[in-house]
Amino acid sequence: MAITKDMSIIEIVQKYPDTVEVLMNAGMGCLGCAAAHFENIEQG
């Protein structure tokens, strides 16, 4: 399964744990907060 812009941030992190470092380096510091459940990768 590929990562798409409409996937939630938490969904991506759960399916692909190696993405945490990439997302953090891109400025997405809220990977474990409530917003990560509702924001998709495009919004984040």
Assign 3-class secondary structure to the chain: CCCCCCCEHHHHHHHCCCHHHHHHHCCCCCCCCCHHHHCECCCC
> Residue 35 has what pLDDT?
87
The Cα–Cα gap between 23 and 15 comes to 14
CB atoms within 10 A of CB 19: 18
Residue 3's pLDDT is 92
pLDDT value of residue 20: 92
**pTM of the full structure:** 0.76
Give the per-residue pLDDT at 34: 87
Indicate if the pLDDT at residue 44 is higher than 80. Answer: no
Give the C-alpha separation, 28 to 5, whole Å.
Answer: 14
Cα 38 to Cα 18: distance, rounded to the nearest angstrom: 20
Domain boundaries, the chain: 1-44
pLDDT in tens, 3-42: 999 999 999 999 999 999 998 998 887 788 888 888 888 8
